[in-house]
Structure 1
Amino acid sequence: MIKKKMKVQENSFRKLEDPLLDDKSSKYVFYVKIDDVAEGIPMTTNPRDQKLTSNVAKAIEDSLDSNDGYFHLKNRGIVLSAGKVHYDNKTKQVSVYFDDESLHGNIDGGHTYKIVCEHIGEGLQQYVQFEIMTGVEDIIEKLAEARNTSVQVDEKSMAELANKFDPIKEGIEGMPFFKRIAFKQNQVTEDSRSGKNLKMIDAREVVAIINMFNIRKFPNTVQPVQAYSSKGKMLSMYLEDPEEYRKFINIMPDLFDLYDCIEIDFAEAYNNNGGRYGKKKYSSYKDGQIIGQSKFGQNDLVYRIPDGLMYPTVSAFRSLLEYDEGNEVYKWKADPFHIWEANKKNIVGKIMSFASSIGDNPNAVGKDSNIWDLAYMTVLLSK
């Protein structure tokens, strides 16, 4: 349990009993001077991380720094969920009890709270409004979603708040890129050595790649083109039944290792087949210099492989999957890495030939179901 105390501006404390839930739920509203705001309030309940370099954050900070005395009127304030609230009328202090960090903490106003905390101790003559609700544990997810409307909370952030990514986390938690996955909006992770922010991977992309191997949703006659063109739809498909994806747990690491392997080998496979990948405008080739890192493994690359080429290629290995009814898991009918190594020149050659025929536009390739069909059949017949 976490307990936080704050001195309340005199005559501002109000307790509102819920008109429907009787004593099960209450709301407390009050003003606190900036220097008296408690630090360390739990943030797990907020559906998105706070990006303090955004225009919204800068506007909040400018309003606070103006020291005009109107911050509490111009700002929407800070909304919290708590287990219990106690106000001492003699000391004018409020004690807020956060019993469970998964249910109690900041719901809305996360940007405001973090910015205010950065200015504690500066003597600003500004106040911020607090709104604290108790007894709302059963609706915490819906409450957080409803309250976060000033900047649209994306679907993945709400899914993370509801722990709906757990099946995926269990499947790839040990992978090197796991800490770089952004399961919440604006989520960032610092490199422990350099202190710089790591390049994040949108959780929707992780979901899209897994969904490309969903042979129940996408049998051999239906290609998952939307994995490239609409990752939001892939996420919605996942959220229909997240538990279904536990059946992929044993092969999930292979999917992302395979993606990395293809990204590393793709250009050289084309070159070894007589092509000149470095001549393509989208290759970003610079006389053998390192131009970036692979998406998941962060291996050095001298060529850029656009997603429009990668997705149909990776998805083609869906043809090697089968469902084990007895163990209720997906498994490989053949080793995908062996198939790739033995047939990569043929697979890449066909994809690049198709790309050339439609103007060397990787985006067009990624949206064309014909190339997905071609890649799929090429891998299927390579077993």
Structure 2
Amino acid sequence: MNTSTERFKAKTVRTVTSPSNEEVTTYYTWVEFQDLPAEIPLEVNPRKPKMNTSVAKQLINAVKNPDSDFDINNRGIVITAKSFKFNTNTSTVDLDLGDDITKYGILDGGHTYTAIIENRDKLPENTKKYVKLEVLVGKNLDVSALADARNTSAQVSDIALFELDDKFDIVKDAVAAESYSEDIAFKDNDNKRIPVVELIKLMFAFNIKRYPDDSSAPVSAYSGKAAVFKDYKNEYGEENNIYKKLSAHLPKLVELYEKIQEELPLKYSEFKKEDGKKPRFGGVRGIEGAGAYEALFTQKPISYEISIGFLLPIFGAFRALLKSKGDELIWEFDPMKVWDKVGTRLVQNTFDTDTNPQQVGKSKTLWQSNYRIVDSERKDLLLEKLMKQQQQ
């Protein structure tokens, strides 16, 4: 068998010599999805990737999602190699994988690798995403022991970490009558298309107990899945559990989120035309389309795949319309109708702030300013309502 050497573009390389075994060197580098070689052997890993599990499907969604922080959220790929050389002049790596596929290749991260190779062509052309490679090189590496160690220490999911597998009763009850109720993964091993965290994020963005006004913002709905689970856990069992109150509105929140998702391209075109500019929504970073896509929850057809970095700061602004009344939360005004009134302003404010969805999703000031737009409309509607009452 011929020696296999892969040459590919890579970002900065960090080299670490093992303090316990100086003959073993680990190279860390970051590779753009499109530059990742497609023929790295997987035989070193005793577990063949199964791409039909819920975890694998979440990985595939993470690869296809236009958000660019994959390398931050993903553990990456571990590779054993015969040698590793980095050419600083050309920023290319020569990865020598020898001629023994049972010794050299992908040791851990086979699901990540497979998800990238099989789905990277679905990313928009102007989206760059990276994966971290950890390459181990050493003459006397015990590959079998490494494979056992790396693959028996399964990553603990956020659900398991917070022991929430049996604590989603309020969510289950809230969506029991919805078309997507049977598609929600409430446990780690549920092979279903909607992770329960997607619903909890929607409620977190409307947590008026924690975020009652524009002085703070539920940015973690975008940037911190663990923080969302933790907040849900902390509220569980509390007499004044905000998520129990919010769950009554969960179908409405899903409806609002998908309405924004569906109509955002039109609102974008409206404000661009008002500015005298030609709208090119599909050319924005983090937007995939136009094409045939489906909304996550109801699977209704949508024309564009839009980064949640753009969607959540708009969606979360409508918590300004919720208020406590006794043991319940009520809408002061219908969020759908308010979206119809201020949607264009919200979209303009969002895209004028930044066109990088990662920066937009994490921008506290944007979340706050979008909230103020909705709150201002709420006050106008309230004044209009009071005036009509006085005239009667």
1:280 aligns with 2:280: no
> Helix, strand or coil: the match of 1:295?
coil
Spell out the pairing of 1:135-284 with structure 2 (5 A cutoff). 150-157=153-160, 163-189=166-192, 200-220=193-213, 221-243=215-237, 244=241, 245-273=243-271, 274=273, 275-284=279-288
Instruction: Please report the RMSD computed on the Cα atoms of aligned residues, expressed in angstroms.
Output: 2.4
Per chain length, whose mean CA-contact separation is higher, i.e. which structure has more relative contact order (CA < 8 Å, sep 6+)? 2
1:370 Cα deviation after fit: 0.8
**Aligned-partner Cα distance in 2 for 1:153–1:206:** 20
Instruction: Name the CA distance, whole Å, in 2 between partners of 1:333 and 1:215.
Output: 14
Give per-residue Cα distances to partners, 1:153-204, cap 9 Å, x unaligned.
3241466765211111111222222222222224214xxxxxxxxxx12212
> CA contact under 8 A between 1:284 and 1:303: conserved in structure 2?
yes
One-letter amino acid matched to 1:238 = Y
**Matched residue of 1:304: which SS?**
strand
Cα 1:282–1:153 change in 2 (3 A) is: closer
Deviation at 1:377, TM superposition (A): 0.5
Deviations 1:91-114 (A, max 9, x none): xxxxxxxxxxxxxxxxxxxxxxxx
Partner residue in 2 for 1:321: 322
Distance 1:186 1:323, change over 3 A: same
The AA in structure 2 aligned to 1:350 is N
- Separation in 2 of the partners of 1:375 and 1:158? 33
Q: Structure 1 pair 285/161, CA: closer, same or farther in 2 (3 Å)?
A: closer
TM value normalised by structure 1: 0.54
CA distance in 2, matches of 1:305, 1:361: 12
Q: 1:353-364 maps to which residues of 2 (within 5 A)? A: 353-355=352-354, 360-364=355-359
Offset from partner CA, 1:59-95 (integer Å, 9 cap, x none): 9xxxxxxxxxxxxxxxxxxxxxxxxxxxxxxxxxxxx
Aligned residues: 223
Q: Would the alpha carbon gap of residues 345 and 249 (structure 1) be closer, same or farther in structure 2, given more than 3 Å must change? A: same
- Output the CA distance in 2 between the equivalents of 1:372 and 1:350: 10
Does residue 298 in structure 1 map to residue 291 in structure 2?
no
Tell me the distance in 1 between the aligned counterparts of 2:155 and 2:285.
Answer: 36
Paired with 2:219 and 2:164, the residues of 1 have a C-alpha distance of 28
Distance 1:338 1:208, change over 3 A: same
Task: Please state how far the C-alpha of 1:236 moved relative to its aligned partner.
Answer: 0.8
Structure 1 unaligned runs (5+)? 1-54, 60-148, 190-199
Instruction: Return 5+ residue gaps in structure 2 as ranges.
Output: 1-44, 50-151, 274-278, 379-392
What do residues 259-300 of structure 1 show as CA deviations (whole Å, max 9, x unaligned)? 0100000011111222331221432224xx32x111222121
Paired residues of 1:212 and 1:318 also in contact (CA < 8 A): yes
Distance 2:195 2:313 in 1: 19
2:175 and 2:352 mapped to 1: Cα distance? 34
Change (3 A) 1:157 1:176: farther
User: Residues 309 and 358 of structure 2 are in contact (CA less than 8 Å); yes or no, is this contact kept in structure 1?
Assistant: yes
Tell me if the contact between 1:172 and 1:252 (Cα under 8 Å) persists in the aligned partners: yes
SS at match of 2:210: coil
* Counterpart residue type for residue 164 of structure 1: K
Work out which of the two has the higher radius of gyration on C-alpha atoms and give 1 or 2: 1
